[in-house]
Amino acid sequence: MQAEPTMHFINASNWATQWQHLFYFLMAVSVFFSILIFGLIFYFAIKYRRRFKDEIPEQIEGNLALEVTWTLIPVGLCIVMFVWASGLYVRYSIPPKGSTEIFVIGRQWMWKVQHAEGVQEINELHVPAGVPIKLTMTSQDVIHDFAVPAFRIKRDVLPGRYTSEWFTPTKTGRFHLFCDQYCGTSHSSMVGWVIVMEPTDYSRWLGGSVVNKSMADMGAEIYTRYGCDTCHSTGAGPPFAGLYGSVVKLTDGQTVKADDAYIRDCILTPASQRVAGYPPIMPTFQGQLEEEQILQLTAYIKSLASTESQERRATKQ
Amino acid sequence: MSATATEIETLPAVHYLNVNYGWRSWLFTTDHKRIAWLYLVAVTFFFCVGGLAATLMRLNLIEPQGALVEPSTYNRLFTLHGLVMIFFFLAPSIPAVLGNFLIPLMIGARDLAFPRLNLLSWYIFMLGGAVFLYSTLSGGVDTGWTFYTPLSTTYANSSVMSAAMGVFISGFSSILTGLNFIVTIHKMRAPGLTWFRLPLFLWSMYATSIIFILAMPVIAITMVLLMLERFLHVGIFDPALGGDPILFQHLFWFFGHPEVYVLVLPAMGVVSELVATFSRKRIFGYSFVAFSSVGIAALSFLVWGHHMFVSGQSIYTGLIFSAFSFMVAIPSAVKVFNWTATLYKGSISFDAPMLYALGFIGLFTMGGLTGLFLASIAIDIHVHDTYFIVAHFHFIMVGGAVMGYLGGIHYWWPKMTGRMYPQNWARLSALLIFVGFNLTFGPQFILGYYGMPRRYAVYPPEFQVLNVMSSAGASILAIGYFIPLIYLIWSARYGPIAGPNPWGAKGLEWTTASPPPSENFEVIPIVTEEAYAYGAKS
């Protein structure tokens, strides 16, 4: 009980300090207007208290200049708040290129984390300090929300689609991870820890794990186990080399960018996005693949995106 | 008390309360004043149900691991609290009780435009309430009052169907009440009562009625879709069935945000009346206050996306809804400034209704300013779905709407019953409510700032101190709510005779007897002056 509340509420990410500055500005505006209004109410209430029973005060219609003033000043302040907050939000919404991508799957009532190197965690997320981290998240059942107060980040985790958020941890330590979207009976137990480590400690932690298969390796296994190769490696279906990130032409003439969401949709609902030039023979894998397996397959396809990354994979192995 | 109070020492021989007796005379009445009483009894009951749930929640949160109940029970308690308070207490409180009683009296009419429809609205409300209570007694609902999908349609194992049905039914009551009010205000004003002579309470009732008619059908549709998916597995919201879970949130908040203004606009109307009466002054900037109500009603339909800033909607959608949310702050601020300016050079008395009104202005200001934090989209990302939100909307809905409701009840109680309650007890309860409220919800702002999520049955131990403070404040708040229940009931029988106009107020409702006769006015009045004409000779 004596653990001080601020212990886990420090500024531990690149957002935290910027968030704090905007928060202090809003506090200053709020305190100013609170004092102004409460002060005026108290002052008027005492100065103009009823002096005798049938007192009728002088009547005042209103004052246009005052109305305009107390409309325009709030408008101006609101514009400042909007621009400041929106700028921060836009940067928050777009992860920088080269961020380390980590995958998060929410389910009633636990967090499953998968690192590209293959390490899996439950209700814990280990990250290196000083490196931009992008979380790609999805849910197996209902809507969850991945929130880390010390980082000032939060994003809903939805079934059937990917959402993402990013941050650069600036301090090492253990920080609360909460599910912030009510998700059923044990919602308040869907909590965990984010552990920020020095990059060297982090590499040691990654390497010390018993797993030695990366996500892409696991995806490659699924690729053959589920028979994807019978079409996609023979030319009967679109090949995967160079696919990720490219622009795909569909049979209905539309074009789409081959990103995580596109690959997920192709695996689960292939009929919705037929690639031009191939027969409609791809079956759905809805209900057959776990969310983790879809992420692993995607990682495998991503690893074939460029020869450069293929080489990197080869040297690692 | 004005001079008129001393001249009349007895109640009128015949008035709407004693014109006939027996349960039939109440349950089959078409008198808007008696229907207001039917609503008053019903919403008081529902307030007690919702308050009991809140009490159990606050008790449970004294211990980080839960002092009282299992998480599954706690989840049912906050769902019950939210649904009952929103749909069965706050939404009908001021419109259906005070609006019903006052609209005909304030416009110099003998009743609402459709008296039988008015009674039907009450029966629909009670049917919805009964169906909802059945869902509670048959195991309760654990989805939160927001019914988010696919939790509510596929995963929850509780009485979602009957709860959704109760909400669905009760919405029609509000639609019919809104329709009745709009027609009444348009068609039944006394001769000479032009739009810009209307008391501001009527402007806010008018704006509220428009929202009732436009927003309530949306929640009805949403509940039908929810029931279709839950019962017949039609894929609408659950992605496993081919649906879209975000679609539900769009529909729900397209109703849900205007609904917030349904709760607070009537209270703003009440406060305008109270500030004018107890400063004996016309409202400063009448037309700005009137049009700000309409402006708030219109903008309320354009801000629903600020409930979804972290739901994964696109960046630009977020920015647009942030901008609209800032815009709705402007008319709200204009109201606060005008109320404050009305006090300037007034003749201010501190009767209990005025204490509630001043409390409203203070708490609504705090609620509004913290709303700016939430409209600032980057700030919202951290405090969204935390206790900061819980504190913010309780400042608006309890600090705002409930303070306004209680202020209104205290102001018009002598008109409704013909008798006055003990002023000092009423002042004490207003003070206790104000202090208790701040002690309950002030700490919750800090909890949310530290990141404590809402709807948590158990929580990390470092949040305990602030939670205990909040629960302690809630006990003061509960006492503050309990005292009026006793002295108001007592005063209805034993209180001193109030007379037609105990506050020396302007407004047509104060020109007729207290309690008024069944037909409201012996002769339909002719209006020759503006509202709040305190300077004019009366």
| Closest chain A residue by Cα to residue B249 | A143
Tokens encoding A83: 């621009």
Q: What is the pLDDT of residues A235-244, one digit of tens each?
A: 888 888 888 8
| Across B200-227, average pLDDT | 94
| Across B322-346, average pLDDT | 93
Provide, as residue numbers in chain B, all residues whose Cβ is less than 8 Å from the Cβ of A188. 71, 453, 455-459
Contact A243, A257 (CB under 8 A): no
Percentage of chain B surpassing pLDDT 90? Answer: 86
A290 touches chain B (CB under 8 A): no
Question: How far separated are the first and last CA of chain B, in Å rounded?
Answer: 16
Percentage of chain B surpassing pLDDT 70? Answer: 98
Grade residue B3 by pLDDT with cuts at 50, 70 and 90: very low
Q: What is the pLDDT of residues B342-369, one digit of tens each?
A: 999 999 999 999 999 999 999 999 999 9
Is a pLDDT exceeding 50 seen at residue A227? Answer: yes
Q: What is the pLDDT of residues B390-400, one digit of tens each?
A: 999 999 999 99
| Closest chain B residue by Cα to residue A154 | B381
Contact between B369 and A142 using a beta-carbon 8 Å cutoff: no
pLDDT value, residue B242: 86
Which element (helix H / strand E) includes A140?
none
Grade residue A317 by pLDDT with cuts at 50, 70 and 90: very low
SS3 per residue for B291-337: HHHHHHHHHHHHCHHHHHCCCCCCHHHHHHHHHHHHHHHHHHHHHHH
pLDDT value, residue A4: 42
Among A7, A12, A19, A17, which Cα is nearest to A194's? A12
* Amino acid at site B520: N
> What is the pTM assigned to this prediction?
0.90
Please give the Cα distance from A170 to A128 (Å, whole number): 9
Q: What is the pLDDT of residues A13-68, one digit of tens each?
A: 999 999 999 999 999 999 999 999 999 999 999 999 988 888 888 888 888 999 99
pLDDT value, residue A210: 64
Contact B192, B526 (CB under 8 A): yes
Contact between A9 and B310 using a beta-carbon 8 Å cutoff: no
Grade residue B437 by pLDDT with cuts at 50, 70 and 90: very high
For residue A56, give the nearest of B329, B369, B535 by CB distance. Answer: B535
Percentages of chain B per state (helix, strand, coil), in multiples of 5: 70, 0, 30
Q: What is the pLDDT of residues B33-44, one digit of tens each?
A: 999 999 999 999
Contact between A41 and B384 using a beta-carbon 8 Å cutoff: no
Provide, as residue numbers in chain B, all residues whose Cβ is less than 8 Å from the Cβ of A94. 315
Is a pLDDT exceeding 60 seen at residue A2? Answer: no
Q: What is the pLDDT of residues A160-212, one digit of tens each?
A: 899 999 999 999 999 999 999 999 999 999 999 999 999 999 998 888 766 67
Please give the Cα distance from A101 to A114 (Å, whole number): 10
Provide, as residue numbers in chain B, all residues whose Cβ is less than 8 Å from the Cβ of A181. 148, 385
pLDDT value, residue A8: 64
The radius of gyration computed from the CA coordinates of chain B, to the nearest angstrom, equals 23
Mutate to test the interface with A, among B283, B336, B351, B381 (most CBs of A within 10 A): B381
Please give the Cα distance from B275 to B349 (Å, whole number): 10
| Closest chain A residue by Cα to residue B239 | A160
For residue B450, give the nearest of A9, A108, A186 by CB distance. Answer: A9
Provide, as residue numbers in chain B, all residues whose Cβ is less than 8 Å from the Cβ of A160. 239-240, 244-245
Mutate to test the interface with B, among A24, A60, A174 (most CBs of B within 10 A): A60
pLDDT value, residue B474: 95
pLDDT value, residue A302: 86
Range of lowest pLDDT (A264-273, B24-33, B98-107, B318-327) = A264-273
Contact between A19 and B72 using a beta-carbon 8 Å cutoff: no
| Across A125-151, average pLDDT | 95
Contact between A70 and B456 using a beta-carbon 8 Å cutoff: no
B431 three-class SS: helix
Tokens encoding A317: 């192995």
* Cα distances (angstroms) measured from residue B73 to each of A143, B66, B261: 21, 11, 30
Is a pLDDT exceeding 80 seen at residue B535? Answer: no
Among A164, A166, A136, which Cα is nearest to A151's? A166
Q: What are phi and psi of B254, to 5 degrees?
A: -65, -35
For residue A82, give the nearest of B154, B326, B344 by CB distance. Answer: B326
Please give the Cα distance from A226 to B37 (Å, whole number): 69
Mean pLDDT in chain B?
93
Per DSSP, B97 falls in state: I
Helix B403-417 vs helix B352-375: crossing angle, to nearest 10: 150
Provide, as residue numbers in chain B, all residues whose Cβ is less than 8 Å from the Cβ of A67. 285, 288, 334, 338
Grade residue B2 by pLDDT with cuts at 50, 70 and 90: very low
pLDDT value, residue B129: 96
Any bridge partners for residue B348, and if so which? A49
Is a pLDDT exceeding 70 seen at residue A316? Answer: no
Higher-confidence residue of A307 and B227: namely B227
For residue B72, give the nearest of A38, A142, A185 by CB distance. Answer: A185
45-84 in chain A: CB under 8 A from chain B: 45, 48-51, 53-63, 66-67, 70-71, 74-75, 78-79, 81-82, 84
* Shortest distance, CA B180 to any CA of chain A (angstroms): 32
* Amino acid at site B443: P
Contact between A48 and B279 using a beta-carbon 8 Å cutoff: yes
Contact between A188 and B323 using a beta-carbon 8 Å cutoff: no
Per DSSP, B386 falls in state: B
214-233 in chain A: CB under 8 A from chain B: none
pLDDT value, residue A242: 83
Contact between A71 and B330 using a beta-carbon 8 Å cutoff: yes
A42 touches chain B (CB under 8 A): no
Q: What is the pLDDT of residues B471-491, one digit of tens each?
A: 999 999 999 999 999 999 999
Q: What is the pLDDT of residues A86-120, one digit of tens each?
A: 999 999 989 998 899 999 999 999 999 999 888 88
For residue A188, give the nearest of B2, B318, B459 by CB distance. Answer: B459
Please give the Cα distance from A243 to A129 (Å, whole number): 32
Half-sphere exposure of A105 (CA within 13 A, CB side): 17
Contact B407, B271 (CB under 8 A): yes
Please give the Cα distance from B414 to B197 (Å, whole number): 24
Contact between A78 and B372 using a beta-carbon 8 Å cutoff: yes
Which element (helix H / strand E) includes B260?
helix B245-279
Mutate to test the interface with A, among B73, B153, B337, B339 (most CBs of A within 10 A): B337
For residue B75, give the nearest of A67, A86, A185 by CB distance. Answer: A185
Please give the Cα distance from A51 to A28 (Å, whole number): 37
* Amino acid at site B11: L
Grade residue B11 by pLDDT with cuts at 50, 70 and 90: confident
Please give the Cα distance from B62 to B459 (Å, whole number): 10
Grade residue B324 by pLDDT with cuts at 50, 70 and 90: very high
Burial class of residue B186 (count of CB atoms within 10 Å of its CB; 0-12, 13-18, 19+): exposed
Tokens encoding B508: 């047509």
Contact between A34 and B369 using a beta-carbon 8 Å cutoff: yes
* Amino acid at site A135: L
| Alpha-helical regions (H) of B158-239 | 160-187, 200-232
B485 three-class SS: helix
| Across B23-52, average pLDDT | 95
* Shortest distance, CA A21 to any CA of chain B (angstroms): 10
Q: What is the ipTM of this complex?
A: 0.90
Contact between A154 and B381 using a beta-carbon 8 Å cutoff: yes
pLDDT value, residue B1: 42
pLDDT value, residue B78: 96
Contact between B240 and A160 using a beta-carbon 8 Å cutoff: yes
Largest CA distance in chain B: 74
Grade residue A7 by pLDDT with cuts at 50, 70 and 90: low
Handedness of CA A80, B293, B359, B96 (dihedral sign): negative
| Across A286-310, average pLDDT | 80
Percentage of chain A surpassing pLDDT 90? Answer: 51
Contact between B535 and A58 using a beta-carbon 8 Å cutoff: yes
Among A106, A211, A206, A216, which Cα is nearest to A165's? A106
A160 touches chain B (CB under 8 A): yes
Please give the Cα distance from A127 to A177 (Å, whole number): 13
* Shortest distance, CA A54 to any CA of chain B (angstroms): 8
Among B42, B175, B29, B18, which Cα is nearest to B97's? B42
* Shortest distance, CA A123 to any CA of chain B (angstroms): 15
For residue A184, give the nearest of B155, B240, B381 by CB distance. Answer: B155
Please give the Cα distance from B483 to B352 (Å, whole number): 13
Is a pLDDT exceeding 90 seen at residue A265? Answer: no
pLDDT value, residue B536: 67
Contact between B310 and A86 using a beta-carbon 8 Å cutoff: no
